[in-house]
Each structure stands twice: as structure tokens, then as C-alpha cells.
Amino acid sequence: MPEETLDYLVIGAGPAGLQMGHFLHRAGRSYRILEATPAPGAFFRTFPRHRKLISINKKYTGWDDPELNLRMDWNSLLSDDPRLLFTHYSDRYFPDADDMVRYLEDFAATQESHITYDARVAEVARPDAGGPFTVTDERGRTYQARRVIVATGVTRPNVPPIPGVETAEQYGDVSVDPADYTNKRVLIIGKANSAFETADNLIETAAVIHVAGPHSVKLAWRTHFVGHLRAYNNNFLDTYQLKLQNAVLDGDVRRIERRADGSYLVTVAFVRADEVTKDIPYDRVIVCTGFRFDPSIFAPECRPELAINDRFPALTPAFESVNVPDLHFAGTITQSRDFKRGTSGFIHGFRYGVRALHRALEARYHGVEWPGRDLPAEPGALAAAVLERVNRSSALWQQFGVLADVIVPDGRGGARYLEEVPLDLQGPPVGDQGHFAVTLEYGPGHDQVDPFDISVGRITQSDAERAHEGHYLHPVVRRFRNGVVEAVHHVTENLENDWTSEQVHLNPLRDFFQHHSIAVSV
């Protein structure tokens, strides 16, 4: 028999599940976290395979403000306890994955009584439409909850449909001992961090390493998407461009043939050579093409729609399934909201997405107002409030273009300043009387500009008239009415992200508010 009907059932005790549990615990809601394995943070006990995180752990910032420090801390979960900062667990800029495991164990200990381990979910069902969910684990235990929050992460390999790919080795279980590849010819399929992490590990021992994929290599320092190839993993590019037997193959792997002696013959169609195909021999073939969400636990009546080639659940701005009410998602599986342009796939991004989800749930189901403050609907006051936030907020900084501070009429002739609302959320708490949305964003075409090319024209940081041409991160304020953007104001970019100039930042923003009044008469 199931336990009492819970307010919330969270599936997964990784970073997102534990973050959600923290907020539910603090709010006093009835909840339980089900974890498939005997301990929290199962993903980080295996991945990344070479045990070095590429999430930044910048311990020394020169700031005393904890909120500002979170801009440089990509690993901490949000907590009221200053002891639960990841910067206490490692001094390394790129920390070891085992440090994350220790951190998550300590974070989980604060809500231990709400976590059930060794409870791999077998089925999520909803026998009565609109009624509670019934969740069954592999031991036959059942749980009932009014709402389910899935925080499992991406748990299945994203295997490309290449004939013969089943004979290749997978990133998740291939040997990471370089000695096993001594004097071998190795093909690595994939062009993101797991592929180049694997290639870099083999440079000293493998005879030849080819990294292959149909798309161009994208560098994170240029695109500003941290899931693209990071500088930490791009040492391999030197070995290609300096003619050291290795290469990046730009093309489709059409076929993988495992030969009788255990070696491979791989057919590659080269994009740069007008689809010319070539059969290339290798000793090892490794597939490093990422992961995808596993929807197999859902019964037919509550199976969520998928997006992005069925890799992630399709979500509303409130992180709810587009087709299953009360089924929500948290963590890296919310990437359909900002795929390959934002940070929802990473702790430093989704920790704020989880907080926004919790606030949406509190408002919808428990009558708790979205956090905010009242302001006079006076242009100078609104401009000052915006600049105060963009100069300090870690959420707008990390979830650029995804979360927004929102200024809405309060119905009394003033305004209400709401923090960290999903940019495209409609209805409460945004309302329908028009509002301003405040984000931090990169400029248009920012990923097409080489930031190290000094011949490229630059916008001076004192030129407010041309602020909209800026490529680097800067505040953007939009005036919405009936869901349509009526006006946009860009605040001039600044090298140190210090938007405090009265002449360059405050006055132009105040003038924008003056021309696009939001006040509603009583």
C-alpha cells in the first residue's frame, strides 16, 4: 500500500533533486526523494570519465558579497548554510569529480529523512486523470503524490543511428587507461567535451587519433555556451594543426564494420571534400556523443512529449510537461528551454531554474507570492532598482536570456519588482497589464565574432546610443504588452560589468522608463 499522498515526489538525488528538496524542506512541504542507487550524486561517481570537472570553482574573487561570488562558483547549490559552498571542498579551479561526490553527500545529509535510496523507479502512473500520481519502484513499493518532479538527469547514451555502431565502445564504459591504446589507431565519434577529453587522454600513447562528426567544432570561448568545447579540453587541436598524425574529420560516419581480427573499417563522408567517402582502418572506435533523457518509466497515460530529437522533455516556461499537468522537471533535463545557448544543462544554471520552479509551485498551489518588492512607478526609481539588481544578481548572470526580473503594475498606481521569473512565463505573477522584463544577454552575432581579433570594430563603453550593437554580456530591458515586445533598451556593455555610471547607464535607462510608462491609475 502507498504511503500518505505527498505534496511532491522528486525522482533523483543528484544536484537538481537535492536542490529541489532543499527548497521543499525549507517551505515545509511534504515530499520524498527517490534515488535509484545507494548514495546521492550517482552521475558524478562515474562521469566525467577522466575525473576532472570543467565547471569553474573560482574561490578567490576579491568580493565579500556571497551573491556576487556565486557568479564565479559553478558548483555550489543554493542554500542558507554558508558551510554548504563547494568552494570549501576544493581549492582547484577545475576540481576533481570526487570532490563533487563528497559535497553532494553532505548536502543530502541535511534532508536525509526525506530520501529513500535503492529505490529505482519502475513506473510513474496516473490512474485517474487529474488525480495523484502513483510511483512504483523496482522493489514493488508504491508512493502517491499530487505532483511529481523528475530530476534524473540524462541517463541514456545518445547513440547515433550509424550501421554497426553497436560494435563500437561507449564513452560510459570504455577503458580510460592510456596504456590500453599504445600504438593504436583510434576513432572518436563526437565533437564536444567528452570526445576531446577522451582524445586528450590518449595523445601520449595512441599512434593516430581521429575525432569525427558532421558539424564544425564550436569553441566555448567564442560561442559563450559552456557545453561547447572548453579550452581545458582543446589541447588536441594543436596536435591536428601542427601535423602530429591526429586529425578532426568533418563529415558523417556512414558505416562501422568490425572485422574478424577485432579491428574496424569505418566509412566516412567528408563535408569539406563534397561528400567524398573514404574507408579508414582503426583499432578502436569510441562513441562520445552525449546523453539523452530516458522516458521509459512513464505509463502511457502520463508519458511526456519530447523535444530536440526526443532527447529532452518538452516543457512550459514553468518547467511543466506540455502535455501532462503536474509533471515537472528539474536540472539538466530542462535543456529544451535553452538548448545549446544557455546554462540549464549545468549546475550553475539549473540551480536557479529549480528555484524558479519552486517559486512557481508555491504561487500556484500554496498561495505564496513570488518574491519581490514594491516600488513607486517613477522612472528614476525603476532605473535605480534595475541597475542595483544587474550589478549584483547571480541568477540573471548565470541564466542569461532565460530568467528575468519583471516589473509589473501593482494595481495601485505603483509597481511590483519580481525577481528571477522565466522570461516567457505568462499569467501570474506577470499578469496581463503589461510589464518590463530585465535580463542579462549577449548581443546579436556574439558567437560570430572572434573576441581576440583587435581589427574587429568595438563599441565604446561610453556610447549609450550604440549599446544595442554590443556583443558582450549586458542588461536588456523590454517593454511587453499583451505578450508582444513594444520597446527594447540596451544598457552599454562594460568590461568589469559595472553598470553604475549616471550619464552612461542610469540616465538613458530612466529616459526609457519615462517614454514607456507602466503605471496604472487607481
CA separation for the pair 178, 481 (Å, rounded): 59
| Tens-level pLDDT at each residue, the chain (522 residues) | 456 899 999 999 999 999 999 999 999 999 999 999 999 999 999 999 999 999 999 999 999 999 999 999 999 999 999 999 999 999 999 999 999 999 999 999 999 999 999 999 999 999 998 899 999 999 999 999 999 999 999 999 999 999 999 999 999 999 999 999 999 999 999 999 999 999 999 999 999 999 999 999 999 999 999 999 999 999 999 999 999 999 999 999 999 999 999 999 999 999 876 678 999 999 999 999 999 999 999 999 999 999 999 999 999 999 999 999 999 999 999 999 999 999 999 999 999 999 999 999 999 999 999 999 999 999 999 999 999 999 999 999 999 999 999 999 888 889 999 999 999 898 888 877 789 999 999 988 888 878 787 776 666 677 888 888 888 999 999 999 888 899 999 999 999 999 999 999 999 999 999 999 875 433
Query: Percent of the chain, pLDDT > 70?
Result: 97
At residue 482, the pLDDT reads 82
| Contact status, residue 64 vs residue 57, Cβ threshold 8 Å | no
The residue with cell 555502431 is 165
**What residue has cell string 534515488?**
35
pLDDT in tens, 181-192: 999 999 999 999
Instruction: Give the CA radius of gyration of the chain.
Output: 25
pLDDT on residue 459: 63
Structure confidence at residue 462 (pLDDT): 78
pLDDT given for residue 412 in this prediction: 86
The reported pLDDT for the residue numbered 521 is 36
DSSP single-letter state for residue 64: -
Q: Are strands 31-34 and 115-116 parallel, antiparallel or unpaired?
A: parallel
Element (H, E) at 27: helix 15-27
To which H or E segment does residue 268 belong?
strand 264-270
pLDDT score for 431: 79
Which is nearest to 169 in space by CA: 155, 159, 154?
A: 159
Place of cell 579491428: 263
CA dihedral 465→468→470→472, nearest 10 degrees, is 130
Per-residue pLDDT tens over the stretch 320-356:
999 999 999 999 999 999 999 999 999 999 999 999 9
Closest among 340, 345, 336, 316 to 328, alpha carbons compared: 316
Q: What is the pLDDT of residue 218?
A: 94
Q: What is the pTM of this model?
A: 0.94
Q: Which of 109, 87, 115, 108 is nearest to 99 (CA)?
A: 87
Nearest to 254 by CA among 139, 165, 366, 144: 165
3-state SS, residue 311 = coil
Cβ atoms of residues 438 and 407 within 8 Å: yes
